[in-house]
A = this chain, B = another copy of it.
Amino acid sequence: MILYDVKIAPSPRRVRIFLAEKNLDVEVIQVNTAEGEHLKEDFLKLNPWATVPVLKLDDGTCISEAIACCRYLEENYPNPPLMGVNPSEKAIISMWEHRMEWDGFLPVAEFLRNTVERFKNRGLTGTLNFNQIPALAERGQKRIAHFHDFLDKRLAESKFVATDKYSIADITAQVSIDFAQRAGVSIPEDKKNILRWHSNVNSRESAKS
């Protein structure tokens, strides 16, 4: 199994944390996105959508999309479970994971990709070029603030994001929070529950991934 990775990108970090939690050690190949390697023919054969991560299985099958990579790992290496162990838990974790992506991950991408100089004509990932849209950067910022409000309330009533155990929903939230921080948006000081949870998940060995 090979993980095609970009060390500083948030999507592959979700898979790296997942691998670390499962105690799995796989070969990692860095893709040089700064030099456009993800848009070249060799990489597009692995993933026509030009995104990382890609998990290349031993039979040559390529899995892209972070959530799909995690699904493969969970089904093959069920312990420790990170996506639930019965139908209702699996659904609850899936609900929260999807929500963390929509409410956390996407708004940060919306803000960052429409603001930063190096993404000038790369408003979205993928093979198409899109100009930055200033109104979208503004919308992203408002959504991040809302994400902080909502997550703080959730973590006042629950130890972890989806249930009382660490799961893929925490990973997506954690990566979104750190991604926002790198984009210049820190956890507001009054969000005590996020701060507590963040210090908790950050103390896990996997957070270094």
A172 at interface (Cβ–Cβ under 8 A)? no
In the bound assembly, the distance between CA atoms of A17 and B83 in angstroms comes to 24
Contact, CB under 8 Å: B90 / A72: yes
A192 at interface (Cβ–Cβ under 8 A)? no
Contact, CB under 8 Å: B99 / A87: no
A61, A68, A128 — which one has the most chain B CB atoms within 10 A of its CB? A68
CB contacts (< 8 Å) of A139 on chain B: these are 123-124, 130, 133
A57 at interface (Cβ–Cβ under 8 A)? yes
A64 at interface (Cβ–Cβ under 8 A)? yes
Asked whether A99 and B65 contact (CB < 8 A) given A87-B76, A88-B57, A91-B72, the answer is: yes
A24 at interface (Cβ–Cβ under 8 A)? no
